C-alpha cells in the first residue's frame, strides 16, 4: 500500500471537514502541521508569503478553529497562536485537552499532545467551559 504523503493528509483533512481545497487553506494547514510549535496569525502570514490576502487568511484561521482543524494556544500575552488539532477533533468536539509548554528562552509554545490536562474537581456551583493549561520552562531545543 502506498504511504500517504503529507500533502495527501492535508488535502484529506480538508475533505473530511467538508472544506474545498484552496491555495490559502492548503497553505495554512501545511504551515501549522509542519511547525513544531504554535504559530501566530502573523507568523502564518509570513510563511505563506506576500500575495496572500490577509482577510482570507484570518477568515481561514477562524473557520479552521470552528471546524476543529486547529486550536487556539493562549498565554499571558495578547498574541493568539494556533496549532493543528489531532485527528480526533471535530466541529462539535475539540478532543484536544493536552498541556501546552512555553519556553522562556525561545518563546515558542509547544503542544504536549501526549500529556493530558489533569482532572480538576470544581466546587459544586462552578462550571468550566474552557481549559487552558500552560507550563513554562526551557524546551528541549534550548537546553
Task: Provide the binding-site residues for Zn ion, judged by CB under 5 A.
Answer: 83, 103, 105-106, 111, 139, 141-142
80, 72 Cβ separation under 8 angstroms = yes
Q: Between 21 and 136, name the residue whose CB sits nearer to Zn ion.
A: 136
CA-wise closest residue to 62 among 90, 39, 92, 82 = 82
Q: How far apart are the first and last CA of the chain?
A: 40
Smallest separation, CB 106 to Zn ion (Å): 3
Residue 9 vs 107, nearer CB to Zn ion: 107
Burial environment of residue 92 by CB neighbours within 10 A (0 to 12, 13 to 18, 19 or more): exposed
Minimum CB separation of residue 130 from Zn ion in Å reads 13
Q: Quick one: 10 or 89, whose CB is closer to Zn ion?
A: 89
Q: How far is the CB of 96 from Zn ion (least distance, A)?
A: 6
Minimum Å distance from CB 97 to Zn ion?
Answer: 9
Question: Which letter, b or e, does each residue of 54-85 get, where b requires 16 or more Cβ atoms within 10 Å of its Cβ?
Answer: eeebeebbeebbebbbbbebbbeeeeebbbbb
* Residue 57 or 111 having the CB closest to Zn ion: 111
Nearer to Zn ion, 21 or 113 (CB): 113
Residue indicated by cell numbers 513554562: 136
Is 112 strand, coil or helix? strand
Shortest distance (Å) from residue 54 CB to Zn ion: 24
Amino acid at each position: 500500500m502506498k504511504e500517504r504523503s503529507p500533502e495527501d493528509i492535508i488535502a484529506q483533512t480538508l475533505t473530511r471537514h467538508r472544506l474545498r481545497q484552496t491555495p490559502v487553506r492548503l497553505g495554512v494547514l501545511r504551515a501549522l502541521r509542519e511547525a513544531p510549535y504554535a504559530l501566530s496569525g502573523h507568523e502564518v502570514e509570513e510563511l505563506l508569503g506576500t500575495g496572500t490576502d490577509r482577510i482570507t487568511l484570518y477568515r481561514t484561521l477562524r473557520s479552521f478553529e470552528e471546524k476543529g482543524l486547529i486550536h487556539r494556544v493562549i498565554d499571558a500575552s495578547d498574541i493568539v497562536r494556533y496549532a493543528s488539532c489531532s485527528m480526533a477533533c471535530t466541529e462539535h468536539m475539540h478532543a484536544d485537552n493536552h498541556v501546552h509548554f512555553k519556553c522562556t528562552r525561545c518563546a515558542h509554545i509547544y503542544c504536549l499532545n501526549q500529556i493530558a490536562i489533569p482532572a480538576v474537581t470544581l466546587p459544586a456551583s462552578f462550571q468550566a467551559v474552557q481549559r487552558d493549561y500552560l507550563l513554562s520552562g526551557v524546551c528541549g531545543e534550548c537546553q
